[in-house]
């Protein structure tokens, strides 16, 4: 198996994986969506809320704010040594106290330690009018997307076959295909039809459909696949992929062990 990284930032990844098949890539996709642990607000205690929003709406908005997740410092609450009581090893506390006239943003959630401060501080929570108040405490715990979407660290997740565009000798360089291509992949240079940034091809077949000479053939390689996804900022794109692969490896090893136990 060979991998080529096209894009890798803290929040985005685009990777070419060769010598594979859609079944394996789909297993990675499902693991990224539902099995990656992430920190999210689970319990909210509201002491005073005179805003125009119900307590439930504010709690829901808080739960969807991406929180920095240091996986090496946190345990799942039901697996922690505190037996679910809520200790620093499984629970992160936030407080919020604001009085209007103002707009409350995610940056107004204050943590016990700076390491848990929210990176995206411009997420609006509520708008307070003059004299209105919102005072609350919130507890955040680890979870996975399998339980609730608020614990889903990855979004915009998709994969596609690597495009293969074959240009035959019958091409007369009419240029119709270059005009039809929505991604500007086909270009005529030095009296020759070439492809640029072929990874961006959506396999729409527009170029092949307008070619009167039938000189263009577009197909996807099932053994070479492009995987791309984004994170919400709670964890880096590299972290979630490495952990997803480890989770898959552990599952396959467990399955192998179970099969060996069958007599």
pLDDT in tens, 39-80: 999 999 999 999 999 999 999 999 999 999 999 999 999 999
Structure tokens at 138: 């919130």
Q: At what angle do helices 237-261 and 22-34 cross, to 10 degrees?
A: 110
Q: Tell me what pLDDT residue 6 has.
A: 94
- pLDDT above 90 for 109: yes
Q: Hey, do 2-34+155-228 and 39-151 end up sharing a CATH topology, with the first three levels equal?
A: no
Q: How many CA atoms lie within 13 A of 181 on its CB side?
A: 26
Contact 92, 39 (CB under 8 A): yes
Q: Tell me what pLDDT residue 263 has.
A: 66
- pLDDT above 70 for 28: yes
Considering the four listed CATH numbers 3.30.1360.10, 3.30.420.590, 3.10.129.10, 1.10.1040.10, the one that applies to the domain covering 2-34+155-228 is: 3.30.1360.10
Phi-psi category of 48—alpha, beta or left, where left has phi over 0 and alpha has psi -120 to 50?
beta
User: pLDDT confidence of 5, banded at 50, 70, 90?
Assistant: very high
Alpha-carbon gap, residue 198 to 4, rounded angstroms: 14
Alpha-carbon gap, residue 74 to 140, rounded angstroms: 11
Alpha-carbon gap, residue 240 to 11, rounded angstroms: 10
Alpha-carbon gap, residue 5 to 139, rounded angstroms: 37
Q: Tell me what pLDDT residue 78 has.
A: 92
Q: Distance of CA 185 to CAs 2, 205, 218, 229, Å? A: 24, 12, 12, 22
Q: Tell me what pLDDT residue 116 has.
A: 95
> How long a stretch of residues is the chain?
263
Query: H-helix or E-strand containing 1?
Result: none
Q: Tell me what pLDDT residue 244 has.
A: 96
The average pLDDT across 232-251 equals: 96
Q: What is the pLDDT of residues 121-167, one digit of tens each?
A: 999 999 999 999 999 999 999 999 999 999 999 999 999 999 999 99
Residue carrying the six token digits 């985005």: 12
Alpha-carbon gap, residue 216 to 218, rounded angstroms: 7
Average pLDDT score, the chain:
94
Q: Tell me what pLDDT residue 134 has.
A: 97
Q: Tell me what pLDDT residue 84 has.
A: 87
The average pLDDT across 223-229 equals: 96
- pLDDT above 90 for 262: no
Specify the fold of 39-151. RNA Polymerase Alpha Subunit; Chain A, domain 2 (2.170.120)
Q: How many CA atoms lie within 13 A of 201 on its CB side?
A: 27
Contact 183, 202 (CB under 8 A): yes
Phi-psi category of 140—alpha, beta or left, where left has phi over 0 and alpha has psi -120 to 50?
beta
Q: Tell me what pLDDT residue 102 has.
A: 96
Strands 216-231, 12-18: pairing kind: antiparallel
- pLDDT above 90 for 1: no
User: pLDDT confidence of 100, banded at 50, 70, 90?
Assistant: confident
Structure tokens at 90: 């499984």
- What pTM, to 2 d.p., does this model score? 0.88
Alpha-carbon gap, residue 146 to 156, rounded angstroms: 17
Q: What angle do CA 57, 62, 68 make, to 5 degrees?
A: 165
Coil/strand/helix, residue 122: coil
Q: What is the pLDDT of residues 161-211, one digit of tens each?
A: 999 999 999 999 999 999 999 999 999 999 999 999 999 999 999 999 999
């Amino acid at each position: 198996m060979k991998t080529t990284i096209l894009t890798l930032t803290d929040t985005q990844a685009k990777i070419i994986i060769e010598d594979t098949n859609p079944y394996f890539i789909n297993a990675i996709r499902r693991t990224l969506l539902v099995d990656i642990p992430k920190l999210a607000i689970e319990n909210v205690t509201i002491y005073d809320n005179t805003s125009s929003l119900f307590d439930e709406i504010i709690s829901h908005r808080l739960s969807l704010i991406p929180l920095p997740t240091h996986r090496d410092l946190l345990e799942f609450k039901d697996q922690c040594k505190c037996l679910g009581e809520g200790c620093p090893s499984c629970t992160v506390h936030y407080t919020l106290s604001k009085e209007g006239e103002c707009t409350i943003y995610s940056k107004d959630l204050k943590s016990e330690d700076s390491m848990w401060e929210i990176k995206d501080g411009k997420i609006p929570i509520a708008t307070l009018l003059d004299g209105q108040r919102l005072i609350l405490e919130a507890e955040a715990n680890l979870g996975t997307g399998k339980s609730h979407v608020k614990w889903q660290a990855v979004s915009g997740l998709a994969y596609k076959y690597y495009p293969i565009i074959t240009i035959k000798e019958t091409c007369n360089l009419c240029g119709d295909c270059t005009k039809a291509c929505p991604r500007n992949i086909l270009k005529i240079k030095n009296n020759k039809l070439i492809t640029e940034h072929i990874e961006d091809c959506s396999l729409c077949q527009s170029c092949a459909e307008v070619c009167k000479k039938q000189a263009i053939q577009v197909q996807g390689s099932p053994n070479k696949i492009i995987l791309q996804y984004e994170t919400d900022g709670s964890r880096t794109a590299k972290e979630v992929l490495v952990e997803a692969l480890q989770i898959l490896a552990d599952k396959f090893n467990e399955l192998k062990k179970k099969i060996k136990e069958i007599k």
